[in-house]
Chains A and B, each alone.
Chain A
Amino acid sequence: MKRMGLSGNYAAAYAVKMADVDVIAAYPITPQTTIVEKLSEFVANGELDAEYINVESEHSALSACVGASLTGARVFTATSSQGLAYMHEVLFMASALRTPIVMANVNRALSAPLNIWNDHSDAMAERDSGWIQLWASSAQEVFDTTVEAFKIAEDVQLPVMVNLDGYIVSHTYEPVNIPDEEEVRKYIPSKPMKNRLSPSLAYSIGVVGPPEYYFEMKYQAIDAMERSRVRIREIESDFNKRFGRSYDDIYTYFMDDVEYVLLTMGSMTGTARVVAESLRSRGEKVGVVAIRTFRPFPSERLAGILGDVGGIGIMDRATTPGGSSSPLYEDVASCLYSVQKRPILQGFVAGLGGRDVSIGEFEMMFMATKEAAKSGRSKPSIYVGLRG
């Protein structure tokens, strides 16, 4: 084990190197680029024996990954924002063809106006593409989650997207514990999977699925996502045992004797924690819940954790124009609908296009959540920090 100062992006690159991937296909886009720059360097230096495909677009990046993955190779790509949007149609094919690709998505706002800074609109727009979505909130978590992602993807035969917030996580240097390569290899052995394009099998893959069959064919990938819930937790617990760090599909903080919860995803969790600490010292019974596995969404467990609280403030870093609320809010609300004593929910949309979400704003969100819980009535989504 060694301790290195790494940015979130470099932490992802180191994890990919340790996973001994066979193929990387990627296209540069800010703020993801330093991941694939680092990987190119590893390949150029001979530190990683992989084919690096300098594709001409993100559409081709993911297409090449699908082809490569079908041969049984271990495959990685990385993107952000417009790049992920450009991959859109291929994302669905990657999941339905059951290709265990791992992709780092460095979360960035979608144009227009052009904006290279962080929000979650890119990942939320691909919510229904059949990819497992994991969310990391520090460089260490990026490293660990990327290693886990290969294990999860190959185990359940679904692609995995590891999300990290642009700049806030991707470009912030933090101390990261890097395990010995041998340990990582034991956890994710680099032996190839079945080559589904082998002449000895002569499969036809990506066929026409007429109405008599499409439903069942599609359902297999849906079912795999459902079944991945249990496997992800088992894989995480195995990781925790081996590497001594503790991950779960739901992150909780200060959840004993709790009345109000701040619910987040990604790097905002850190701010929420600081605010919760300060509020606790002032006697407020507040806790933090962060979703680490957005797909599959941990509905049942979340309902168990949140079923008793008075009020929940849900921080979305994306929105659904014209929808009943925002993506994270909707999932939380859905899973709480059937609990006996439903908590009051207050939705917030914050930090679009990289706007900083301050401690003061978090305190305001807490106050608004508390007020909603007390009065029993919440307001429509509050756009935090939006100038009139």
Chain B
Amino acid sequence: MSTAFRNIKDVPKEEYLAPGHRLCAGCTAATAIRQILKVAGRDTVVVSATGCVEVATSYFPQSAWKVPWVHVAFENTAAVASGIESAMKALYRKKKTTERVNIIALGGDGGTFDIGLQALSGALERSHDFIYICYDNEAYMNTGVQRSSATPYCAATTTCPPGKMSSGKRTEKKDLVAIAVAHNIPYAATATPSYPFDLMNKVKRALDVEGPALVHVLTPCPTGWRFDTDSGIDIGKLAVLTGLWPLYEVVDGVTKLTVQVPKREPVKKYLEIQGRFKHLKEADVAEVQKRADMLAAKFGLGPVREQVQA
């Protein structure tokens, strides 16, 4: 698979997401979209699910999109993309158009993991040639930080608050990439804008394969995760370095780690700088660490770095 982006010189200067949009200061979803569109280029149609990115980039009479962009509803992004892909294919075959475009469906975790999962599954099974990007900020941020099925274990949201009887979300995050791979699609990957070249190469590969591809992008959210607006990129890095967010790709069913982590950071470092984990007790932190250790074993990450005892 191609590795088109190795350093900053490989990255096109063109911007397709204009500045001045209304996303929160420090939002890493906006960073991810800039990176994605630099790869996809001008001849791209973006289909957005309802969500933060949708409302913050298309508030009439302004729009931040320099490529064709459409939003229909919350749960039907993959279906709308299916229709566009099929129509463009038919029109081209019938010589009614000469245009060829990349089709990118873009949904948040709510629009992908929860309400849009059925439409996504249908589109993947039907093998449309499109890419689906889930920008995952691990809760319904647009409506004010409610729990989704992408919210990680123990995180606090406004609908799974910690209390006398609870320490935040009690269940696991769904494995979206595994769900996508179960449809026997040619390409699926995880990414985060904290590793821009890794993300951009994955988007390129996703666009290059014939058939559906899914890229699951972790996008730290200062508003919902409660961290300083200048630390989103660092937090994304820590997610990778702790082993909580392994960066890998699955090409024709074969999984390969794309960013090695020879020495992992303890999850405590990741948890303690986010307000959503402030309530965690030592036992909770140990539980999260166990989850990181399991992921590390699964994907072949290194052991946790020795901690200097205070």
- Identify which of A53-61, A111-119, A234-242, A244-252 touches chain B: A53-61
Task: Tell me if B31 is interfacial: C-beta within 8 Å of chain A.
Answer: no
Partner among A59, A191, A201, A205 whose Cβ is within 8 Å of the Cβ of B119: A59
- Identify which of A5-13, A71-79, A137-145 touches chain B: A71-79
Within 8 A of B (CB), among A83-142: 89-90, 93, 97
Question: When A64-B83, A198-B68 are in contact, do A56 and B119 touch as well, CB less than 8 Å?
Answer: yes
CB distance from A381 to the nearest CB of B (A): 36
Task: Tell me if B43 is interfacial: C-beta within 8 Å of chain A.
Answer: yes
Tell me whether B70 and A197 are in contact (CB under 8 A): yes
With a cutoff of 8 Å between Cβ atoms, the chain B residues found around residue A207 in the complex are 58-60, 63, 71
A157-199 interface code vs B (CB 8 A; 1 in, 0 out): 0000000000000000000000000000000000110011111
B57-83 interface code vs A (CB 8 A; 1 in, 0 out): 011110101111111110110111111
Tell me whether B60 and A210 are in contact (CB under 8 A): yes
Question: When A22-B94, A71-B91, A73-B87 are in contact, do A208 and B72 touch as well, CB less than 8 Å?
Answer: no
Tell me whether A63 and B119 are in contact (CB under 8 A): yes
With a cutoff of 8 Å between Cβ atoms, the chain A residues found around residue B59 in the complex are 207-208, 210
Question: When A56-B118, A90-B76 are in contact, do A199 and B67 touch as well, CB less than 8 Å?
Answer: yes
Tell me whether A73 and B65 are in contact (CB under 8 A): no
Residue in chain B with minimal CB distance to A57: B118
CB distance from B22 to the nearest CB of A (A): 10
Task: Tell me if B93 is interfacial: C-beta within 8 Å of chain A.
Answer: yes
With a cutoff of 8 Å between Cβ atoms, the chain B residues found around residue A195 in the complex are 91, 97, 99
Task: Tell me if A204 is interfacial: C-beta within 8 Å of chain B.
Answer: yes
Tell me whether B47 and A67 are in contact (CB under 8 A): yes
Task: Tell me if A50 is interfacial: C-beta within 8 Å of chain B.
Answer: yes
Residue in chain B with minimal CB distance to A217: B60
A276-292 interface code vs B (CB 8 A; 1 in, 0 out): 00000000000000000
Tell me whether A71 and B63 are in contact (CB under 8 A): no
CB distance from A203 to the nearest CB of B (A): 6
Tell me whether B82 and A53 are in contact (CB under 8 A): yes
Interface residues on B, range: 35 or more
Task: Compute how far the CA of A284 lies from the CA of B82 in the bound complex, rounded to whole angstroms.
Answer: 58
Tell me whether A73 and B90 are in contact (CB under 8 A): yes
Tell me whether B73 and A89 are in contact (CB under 8 A): yes
Question: When A54-B126, A59-B79 are in contact, do A199 and B68 touch as well, CB less than 8 Å?
Answer: yes
Tell me whether A63 and B73 are in contact (CB under 8 A): yes
Partner among A56, A61, A65, A198 whose Cβ is within 8 Å of the Cβ of B121: A56
With a cutoff of 8 Å between Cβ atoms, the chain B residues found around residue A51 in the complex are 86-87, 89-90
A38-55 interface code vs B (CB 8 A; 1 in, 0 out): 000000000001110111
Task: Tell me if A206 is interfacial: C-beta within 8 Å of chain B.
Answer: yes
How many of chain A's residues have a CB under 8 angstroms from any CB in B?
49
CB distance from B155 to the nearest CB of A (A): 28
Task: Tell me if B44 is interfacial: C-beta within 8 Å of chain A.
Answer: yes
Tell me whether B69 and A205 are in contact (CB under 8 A): yes
Tell me whether A205 and B70 are in contact (CB under 8 A): yes
Tell me whether B87 and A22 are in contact (CB under 8 A): yes
Task: Tell me if A328 is interfacial: C-beta within 8 Å of chain B.
Answer: no
CB distance from B7 to the nearest CB of A (A): 28
Tell me whether B83 and A25 are in contact (CB under 8 A): yes
Task: Compute how far the CA of A93 lies from the CA of B47 in the bound complex, rounded to whole angstroms.
Answer: 15
Question: When A51-B87, A53-B86, A63-B72 are in contact, do A202 and B119 touch as well, CB less than 8 Å?
Answer: no
Tell me whether A67 and B119 are in contact (CB under 8 A): no
Task: Compute how far the CA of A268 lies from the CA of B22 in the bound complex, rounded to whole angstroms.
Answer: 55
Task: Compute how far the CA of A202 lies from the CA of B58 in the bound complex, rounded to whole angstroms.
Answer: 13
Task: Tell me if A23 is interfacial: C-beta within 8 Å of chain B.
Answer: yes
With a cutoff of 8 Å between Cβ atoms, the chain A residues found around residue B257 in the complex are none
Candidate in A49, A60, A69, A97 with the most chain B CB atoms within 10 angstroms: A60
Task: Tell me if B55 is interfacial: C-beta within 8 Å of chain A.
Answer: yes
Task: Compute how far the CA of A205 lies from the CA of B58 in the bound complex, rounded to whole angstroms.
Answer: 9
Tell me whether A67 and B91 are in contact (CB under 8 A): no
Question: When A64-B82, A207-B71 are in contact, do A202 and B65 touch as well, CB less than 8 Å?
Answer: yes
CB distance from B21 to the nearest CB of A (A): 12
With a cutoff of 8 Å between Cβ atoms, the chain B residues found around residue A203 in the complex are 68-69
Task: Tell me if A70 is interfacial: C-beta within 8 Å of chain B.
Answer: yes
Interface, chain A (partner B; CB < 8 A)? 22-23, 25, 49-51, 53-57, 59-61, 63-73, 75, 89-90, 93, 97, 191-192, 195-199, 201-210, 213, 217
Can you identify 24 A-B contacts, CB atoms within 8 angstroms? A22-B91, A25-B86, A53-B86, A56-B118, A56-B125, A60-B82, A60-B122, A63-B72, A63-B119, A66-B72, A67-B79, A89-B73, A192-B97, A195-B97, A198-B99, A199-B43, A199-B45, A202-B69, A206-B58, A206-B71, A207-B63, A208-B55, A208-B58, A209-B60
* Other A-B pairs, 13, CB within 8 Å; known A57-B119, A67-B83: A22-B90, A23-B90, A25-B82, A57-B118, A63-B72, A67-B80, A71-B87, A72-B91, A93-B72, A191-B96, A197-B70, A197-B101, A199-B68
